[in-house]
Amino acid sequence: MHLEQDRTAFAVAKAIKGSPQKLGLVADLIRRMPVGDAMLQLQFSKKRVARVVRDVLNSAVANAQNNHNLDIDKLYISEVLVGKAFVLKRMNARARGRAARIQKPFSKLAVFVTERGA
């Protein structure tokens, strides 16, 4: 297990605008994929959060290369964690002086990349 930790790098984004459910749809696309294939998948995805996921994946790959000296060509996405961060609550004016609550959810994302066995 210790060897596996040495060959794993990760990156985290803590305040992504959008619900965890929508972010999870994009995360499911790239889970357990080689990094190059995942980049292509995210590049051509029509989802808005795909750009954020791609940025976090790029950061994880850079961490793997610079901090752990891993080979980029052998990297694959070992784990993608999506969670609920916080919810901004706002008011929306309605008829007859009433108000309705608007919830603006935020998500957090962690991407782990691991080098395939040598």
| E strands present in the chain | 8-17, 75-93, 99-115
Q: Say how many C-beta atoms besides its own lie within 10 A of residue 105's C-beta.
A: 17
17 forms beta bridges with 106
Dist. CA 50–CA 48, nearest whole Å: 5
pLDDT score for 6: 77
How far out from the chain centre does Cα 31 lie? 10
Domain ranges of the chain: 2-115
Q: Write down the architecture of domain 2-115 according to CATH.
A: Alpha-Beta Complex (3.90)
Out of 6-10, 22-26, 42-46, 101-105, pick the least confident.
6-10
Type of residue at 70: L
**What's the whole-number mean pLDDT along residues 52-70?**
96
pLDDT score for 3: 46
**What's the whole-number mean pLDDT along residues 29-44?**
97
Closest CA to 76 of 25, 42, 50, 37: 37
